[in-house]
C-alpha cells in the first residue's frame, strides 16, 4: 500500500448505523450500481442487521451492509467505495468490520457463514480476504474462538 493510501486509510472512521437512505442511493449511483427509490433504500436500511459508513475528512466515502438472520447466516451487501477512494484499504476495513460483527453475534457455536454477491470483476478482492467464489456468489466459513 502506498504511503498516501495508508495515511488515508488510517484517517477513515467507520461509524455504524448512521447511513441515510439518500446517501445510500447516491453512493450506488456514483459507483455505477442501479438507482433504487429512496423509500426502498430506507426500508432496506431499517431491515438490515448493521450498516457501516466510511467517513474521511467528514465526507462519506464508502459503505457496507450486513443482512441475514442475525444468528447463523450473514450476507454482505453493497460494499461500495467511491472510485477515487478505491484500492486504499477502505473496502477491506468495511468487510472486516462486518465479518467481526457476524462473529461476535453468531449463535452457532464453532463456526458461522458469511456470504454475498460480488460486483462483476471485484471477485479477486473477496478472494484475497479468504472468501470462496461460487457460481452464484461468494462465501466464507468463519471459526468462532
User: For 18-33, how does the pLDDT look when each residue is reduced to its tens digit (9 = 90+)?
Assistant: 999 999 999 999 999 9
- Higher local confidence (pLDDT), 47 or 135: 47
Provide the whole-model pTM: 0.92
DSSP 48: S
Strand arrangement of the beta sheet that strand 132-134 belongs to: 13-16, 50-56, 59-68, 73-81, 111-116, 137-143, 132-134
Q: Which of 24, 54, 48 is nearest to 36 (CA)?
A: 24
pLDDT score, position 74: 96
Percentage of residues of the chain with pLDDT beyond 70: 99
DSSP 121: T
- The mean pLDDT of 69-98, rounded to a whole number, is 95
Amino acid at each position: 500500500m502506498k504511503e498516501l493510501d495508508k495515511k488515508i486509510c488510517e484517517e477513515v472512521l467507520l461509524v455504524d448505523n448512521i447511513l441515510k437512505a439518500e446517501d445510500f442511493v447516491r453512493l450506488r449511483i456514483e459507483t455505477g450500481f442501479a438507482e433504487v427509490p429512496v423509500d426502498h433504500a430506507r426500508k432496506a436500511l431499517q431491515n438490515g442487521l448493521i450498516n457501516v459508513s466510511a467517513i474521511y475528512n467528514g465526507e462519506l466515502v464508502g459503505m457496507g451492509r450486513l443482512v441475514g438472520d442475525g444468528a447463523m447466516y450473514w450476507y454482505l451487501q453493497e460494499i461500495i467505495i467511491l472510485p477515487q477512494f478505491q484500492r486504499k484499504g477502505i473496502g477491506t476495513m468495511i468487510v472486516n468490520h462486518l465479518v467481526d460483527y457476524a462473529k461476535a453475534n453468531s449463535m452457532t457455536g464453532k463456526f458461522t457463514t458469511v456470504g454475498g454477491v460480488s460486483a462483476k470483476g471485484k471477485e479477486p478482492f473477496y478472494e484475497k480476504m479468504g472468501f470462496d467464489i461460487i457460481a452464484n456468489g461468494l462465501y466464507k466459513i468463519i471459526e468462532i474462538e
